[in-house]
Amino acid sequence: MKESIFSFFNAPITNQVSNGVVCVSQLHAYITTSEWLRERTDQVRAASGDEKRFRRLKQSLLPYVTPAGIFSYRREDHLLLPSGEFVIDIDHLSSPEEAIRWRDTLFADERLRPDLSFVSPSTTGIKLLVPYRLSIKKTVEESFDEAVQFAWEYLEGKYGLKADATNADLSRACFLCHDPSARLREN
């Protein structure tokens, strides 16, 4: 497996300077085994009945990554190294069980071939880290935008799923949460 690396940020979301870098396999290990992350995920999920409180806790307690690459500061014009990855975020599924089914189904999709898939903090959504090819004939932004657009159209056309369109910029944060069954592509 190609090991993409990207910036890792400690909470809260207002922290715009990364605390280091992480590769996909390290991120998988963190998501599946970190007791610290599990405790914070449980705190956030306990507020799932109150949308404002849930959002506030998610933004203040959960660490995050920028799957598109390594940034000196979390802003598009501060990209140091592109990863060749983007995040697909699918929210508002009907149940945690449906989220688990989609996590596994989309992980197995031979067209998308995500490197990592996990259930989102809400338990009714999923996050996929999807690789794409950087082109020497296009800017990083053009390659990224084309890949994201293709993936969104593919998901809607094949599965009837609508991805969260706010994930369309390079510096977009991807919140991390505990998922002991997160999927990692190893080949």
- In the structure, what pLDDT confidence band is assigned to residue 77 with cuts at 50, 70 and 90? very high
Locate 115 and state its tokens: 């490197």
Q: What is the mean pLDDT of residues 16-41?
A: 98
Q: What is the mean pLDDT of residues 120-140?
A: 94
List C-alpha distances in Å: 130 to 53, 88, 89: 30, 7, 11
Q: Could you give the CA distance from residue 179 to residue 112 in angstroms, rounded to a whole number?
A: 21
Residue 33 neighbours by CB distance under 10 Å: 12
Question: pTM for this one?
Answer: 0.94
Sheet holding 116-119, edge to edge: 85-90, 126-131, 116-119, 183-184
Q: Could you give the CA distance from residue 21 to residue 66 in angstroms, rounded to a whole number?
A: 10
pLDDT of 2 reads 66
pLDDT of 1 reads 52
- In the structure, what pLDDT confidence band is assigned to residue 87 with cuts at 50, 70 and 90? very high
* Domain spans of the chain, in order of start: 5-179
